[in-house]
Amino acid sequence: MKGNILIADDEEMIRDLINITLSKEGFTCHQASSAEEGLEVVNRLPVDMALLDIMMPGRSGIDLLKDIKKMTPDIPVLMITAMNDMDTALSCIHLGAEDYITKPFNLERVLLTVKNTMEKRRLVMENREYQANLELKVKEQTETIRTVMGEINQAYEHTLAALIRALDAREKEVGSHSERVMNYATLLARTAGIDEVACGILAKGALLHDIGKIGISDNILLKPAKLDEAEWVIMRQHPAVGFEILSEIRFFEGAAELVLSHHECFDGTGYPHRLKGDAIPISARIFALVDTLDAMTSDRPYRKALSYQQVRDEVIRCSGKQFDPALVEVFLSIPKAEWEKAAGKELL
C-alpha cells in the first residue's frame, strides 16, 4: 500500500474518478462529500495526503485545510479548484497547501502531481528521521566520551593515544595523523617561545583536534565524493562537538579552546565563529600551520604526498590569509630535518 489519501469533494463523480485513478496505482482512497466528513476521516485514520475541493456546501475546503494543518502539519494537501478561482487557490498555498489542481483536470496530471507530492513527503520524513537519529547518536556518544574521559584522568596518555589512532583509522589515515600534528605543534610552539605549560596544553589540543568527528556519520565522514552543502553544515559542527566533549572536563579546558578554533583562518574566513587575527587562540594559529604540513606531506586517495618545498611555498602564499604571518616566519625558520625528526619519517 502506497498510502492513505483523503478525497473531499461534494461532486461524487469527481471523487469516483480520482478514486479509481489512484486506487489503480496502489493508493487507498477515503472519500468525503463535505469538510465535516473529511475532518472525521482525518480524526479517524492515519491520512498521508488530502485532495480538497475549495467550494463545498457548509464549511469550505479552505476551512478543512486550516483544520488539517493545525492538527497534522506534515500532511501534504492539494486543493481542487475551478479555473475562475485561481486567486483563492494561490491563497491556499500561503495557508500550507502543497499545490492545486484545476477543473476540468487531466487524470494523468492528477496522478503525476499526487506521486510527486507523496515522494517529496517521503524524502522529507526520511531526512527528518535521519537528523533525529543523528542528533541522538551525537548526544549519546558525547555523553559516553565525557564519562569515559572523566574516569581516566590519571591514565589519559595511553587511553587517548589509542582513541586517536582509532579516529585516524576511521578516516583511513596512513600512520597517526593526530600524533604527528601534536609533535609538529610542540616543535613550532617551542621555537616560537611558548612556555612549557602552554606547550603541554597545546599538545593535548593538537592530539584531540578531531575528537568531535566521533559524532559525524560515516556516510559523511567517509564519503568519497565532494560533500554537498547540507553535509558540510553537519561536518562543520565537529569543532563545536569536540569542544562540548572536552570543555566540561577540567583536565582538558585549555585543549578544548584549540579544538573549537582549529578551523579558523587568520583573515576571518574560517569556522565556526569566523574569528580573525589575534582573536584566534595562538594554539589554533600554530595548529593551522602544522596541520597543513602534515596534510600536504601525506598520501591521499586522490594524490601522492607533496614535497616539503611545496609546503613552504603554500605557507608563504597563504600568509596573512589562512596563517598568522608572524608564525609563518617561525615555521620557515625550522630546518626540514627537525620537522622530519618530529614526524618520525622523511619528507620529500
**Tens place of pLDDT for every residue, the chain, 348 residues?**
578 999 999 999 999 999 999 999 999 999 999 999 999 999 999 999 999 998 888 899 999 999 999 988 889 999 888 766 677 777 888 888 888 888 888 888 888 888 888 888 888 888 888 887 887 887 877 777 777 666 665 566 666 666 666 666 666 554 478 888 999 999 999 999 999 999 999 998 998 888 888 878 888 887 877 888 888 989 999 999 889 888 877 778 789 999 999 999 999 999 999 999 999 999 999 999 999 999 899 887 667 889 999 999 999 999 999 999 999 999 999 999 999 999 888 888
Domains identified in the chain, total number: 2
pLDDT (tens digit per residue) in 212-246: 888 788 888 878 778 888 889 899 999 998 898 88
Q: Are residues 179 and 98 in the same domain?
A: no
Q: Are residues 237 and 330 in the same domain?
A: yes
Give the alpha-carbon dihedral of 292, 296, 298, 303, to 10 degrees: 140
Of 74, 105, 123, the last residue of a domain is 123
The DSSP bridge partners found for residue 4 are 28
Query: Does 130 map to a domain?
Result: no
* Residue 185: other Cβ atoms inside 10 A: 29
What residue numbers bound the domain in which 25 lies?
4-123
Distance of alpha carbon 23 from alpha carbon 13, whole angstroms? 15
Query: Does 147 map to a domain?
Result: no
CA angle 234, 239, 243 (to 5 degrees): 125
Among 237, 241, 240, 242, residue whose Cα is nearest residue 252: 242
Residue 27 has what pLDDT? 92
List Cβ neighbours of 283 (8 Å cut-off, separation of 6 or more). Answer: 185, 189, 198, 201, 202, 205, 206, 254, 257, 258, 261
- Residue pair 80/101 in contact by the 8 Å Cβ criterion: yes
Among 300, 299, 303, 327, residue whose Cα is nearest residue 315: 327
